[in-house]
A and B are shown apart, each in its own frame.
Chain A
Amino acid sequence: MYDKIMKLYPSLTDIDFMTVITLQNDSDGKGDYIAKWEHPTLARPTDEELA
């Protein structure tokens, strides 16, 4: 998930992923997902972009 998002938005920083973006994995076999996307300028990636 992280790698796909960074490929879409290379300008994102470590701080972004600790503040306005939260990637999460609930260890339930369903994998990583975007739990929060509050970036002020970049749009939340679509499922198609992350596929």
Chain B
Amino acid sequence: MACIINASTTSGLVQTADLSGVLQFQQNGVALPNGGVAPAFNAYGSALQSIATATFTKIAFNTKAFLNGVSGTVFDTNTNYDTTNYRFTPTVAGYYQINSTISTTSSATGLAFIAIYKNGTAFCYGNIVPNTNGGYITANGLVYCNGSTDYIEIYAYQNSGVSLNFGSSSSPFQFSGCLVRGA
């Protein structure tokens, strides 16, 4: 699977080798982000999603993007993104840059935004836009994940008084993230 150079707290420097041609650095058995195993993913939604008024609703980013944009290898280096629960659960502890963008439809009243959720609770919010404009809303944040149980999702909110459609099959709405620093 990889040639590994590990700084162990019990054995000092430990090296293991195979024929994979992949080099991985570890701190006490935990892979460093630049060791070739840093989680990164990009997912998108493939259909309109109805968002009820005044209700935080998880966005169904149900498809993994492709590395080259159209086909081939999916953009999910460690298979950490779940297209059923629309959830990123990274398997390496550290600090993750999380990004999301989605289009909204216009309405006469209210506002709209999206939020990055960590473990089912709002962690940070994106820009708030009036529904009169429609357009795109985004959220970006740096989130620590423990590499085992912590997970990230995106929720949308609008309070026009009626349900509004977010996203579409033809406009980009995506959820992406990557490890920027190990724990």
CB distance from A36 to the nearest CB of B (A): 9
Residue of A26, A32, A35 most packed against chain B (CB within 10 A): A26
- Bound: A32/B163 CA distance, A: 13
On chain A, the residues within 8 Å of B4 by CB distance are none
Does B58 touch A at the CB level, under 8 Å? yes
Residue of B53, B55, B60, B85 most packed against chain A (CB within 10 A): B55
On chain A, the residues within 8 Å of B49 by CB distance are 27
Does A47 touch B at the CB level, under 8 Å? no
Q: Which of B110-158 contact A (CB under 8 A)?
A: 110, 155, 157
On chain B, the residues within 8 Å of A1 by CB distance are 52, 55
Does A23 touch B at the CB level, under 8 Å? yes
Does A17 touch B at the CB level, under 8 Å? yes
CB distance from A1 to the nearest CB of B (A): 7
CB distance from B116 to the nearest CB of A (A): 15
Could you jot down 11 A-B contacts, CB within 8 Å? A14-B54, A14-B159, A17-B159, A22-B56, A23-B55, A24-B56, A25-B55, A25-B56, A25-B57, A25-B58, A27-B86
Q: Contact residues of B with A, CB < 8 Å?
A: 49, 52-60, 85-86, 110, 155, 157, 159
CB distance from B63 to the nearest CB of A (A): 14
**Residue from the list B59, B157, B159 in contact with A27, Cβ < 8 A:** B59
CB-nearest residue of chain A to B53: A2
Size range of the chain A interface in the assembly: 10 to 19
CB distance from A17 to the nearest CB of B (A): 4
**Residue from the list A2, A26, A27, A28 in contact with B54, Cβ < 8 A:** A2
On chain A, the residues within 8 Å of B55 by CB distance are 1-2, 23-25, 32
On chain B, the residues within 8 Å of A14 by CB distance are 54, 110, 159
Does A43 touch B at the CB level, under 8 Å? no
CB distance B85 to A28 under 8 Å?
yes
- Bound: A35/B58 CA distance, A: 13
On chain B, the residues within 8 Å of A22 by CB distance are 56
